[in-house]
Structure 1
């Protein structure tokens, strides 16, 4: 199944006999919970999911957005109506970062059918509502490990043996600026691959063939193991999604730079080259 769904395809699915569970995961770094915006206007039937509280654990040694407590994540998914035998569609405000985090977590915990709305809420052409849904609770039972996950040591090793992509902006990768974390730079051996280049000017994902060519040019081949990190494991999930659209499996380093850079014993590279 394709990892993304168009607005027209979603509208048809919602009008069909077995509509998907719809999750609204609007989120912006540094802003408070966006539930008030959800309550003002959302796609009919969508349930709000709080990224900080339900898709991540508390910030700490594992980074700003470590894996969530499995019980908390499971309870949120069940309350939203998620079950293994029902499709799930996730959307956010625009660039797919937050939606992809939910998509990746559901895939990692074994859900067989999850897609992200291509272009996010901005692409939706149907009506919006302020009416809050009352979903029938789901029975989703997580089975973690269904897709690959990297820790810090695994990311360091993959940067040397395979392809580790850094999904942050180029200036952060090069170490020119670091607005959030302790130190600027990148994991030695990682290749710069900003998520902004996954999207076309209309805010939607580039065609699969274009994405495949992009990642091939960065070093992804059929024989290459691929991993991705970012600042805290959110935008990297969008890169995993883009790779999936391109037909390339990849592992997520959830702790990402926020975890890596917090440990002074770990090496830091700067400049435009992987090193």
Structure 2
């Protein structure tokens, strides 16, 4: 199944019976002072959202509190499951997730739902900016869903797994190149990258309008980065959000990949872990 859906195909799906559950996950990374931009999240949702969409908060429902596990560690699955059921998510009904267009937050929700066992979840390619239909300010009250998340046996990396994959497979760093090289670090305490990781900024997977490049071009890009047939692939970023977007791009290309959710923010919480700086060694 294609993990993304176009705005036109979503509009068609919403006209029939049994349409997908819609989740609005608009979010933006806080600045270093901890303040979030003023018009994202619930404020943006309240001003207008896809009719019937339910807001999901990334910081509190798709992640646990920041700590030694990183800035966006895995959520408590009971909290996550309750949030999904409140939003009307059921195991038998498709789900479509969208955000403000960057795609990172929607990809985090897609990854969590997929990893915990939902069989049919997709991301609106390009997010809210590509939607041409009406918006609503009505807050829906959906019937509770029945989805009970169960952690997957594949697709998740911890710090040791990420380090091992950097040696034995392909570990992609989804952050901007200057952060990978250690030239700047606007968010986390230490600059640089996991030794052996390959720089693969996630913004190069999309066109200017935020929609993903065609699958063929994505396959070509990842092949050039070393994603050969049969090679195990993993992804990390700063805190497991933009990395989920790269995992989604890999899925569009037909390449399975695991996510190191703790990512750089967890890696650097332990001063014993090695840090590399400089350009991609390839």
Q: TM-score, normalised by structure 2?
A: 0.96
DSSP-derived class of the 1:165 partner = strand
1:1-275 equivalence runs, <5 A: 1-30=1-30, 31=36, 34-145=41-152, 147-274=154-281
CA–CA distance in structure 2, aligned partners of residues 53 and 4 of structure 1: 24
- 1:146 is displaced (CA, Å) by 5.2
CA–CA distance in structure 2, aligned partners of residues 81 and 258 of structure 1: 32
CA–CA distance in structure 2, aligned partners of residues 17 and 137 of structure 1: 18
- Compare 195-204 and 244-253 and name the one that shifted more: 195-204
- 1:134 is displaced (CA, Å) by 1.1
CA contact (8 A) 2:103 2:210 kept: no
CA contact (8 A) 2:174 2:235 kept: yes
CA contact (8 A) 1:110 1:146 kept: no
CA–CA distance in structure 1, aligned partners of residues 139 and 281 of structure 2: 48
DSSP-derived class of the 1:15 partner = coil
Runs of 5+ unmatched residues, structure 2: 31-35
CA contact (8 A) 1:228 1:239 kept: yes
DSSP-derived class of the 1:26 partner = coil
Q: Alignment RMSD, CA only? A: 1.0
CA–CA distance in structure 2, aligned partners of residues 37 and 274 of structure 1: 42
- 1:17 is displaced (CA, Å) by 1.2
- 1:202 is displaced (CA, Å) by 2.2
CA–CA distance in structure 1, aligned partners of residues 241 and 233 of structure 2: 17
CA contact (8 A) 1:107 1:147 kept: no
CA–CA distance in structure 1, aligned partners of residues 224 and 44 of structure 2: 39
Count residues with an aligned counterpart: 275
- Runs of 4+ in structure 1 deviating by more than 4 angstroms, as ranges, are none
CA–CA distance in structure 1, aligned partners of residues 124 and 144 of structure 2: 22
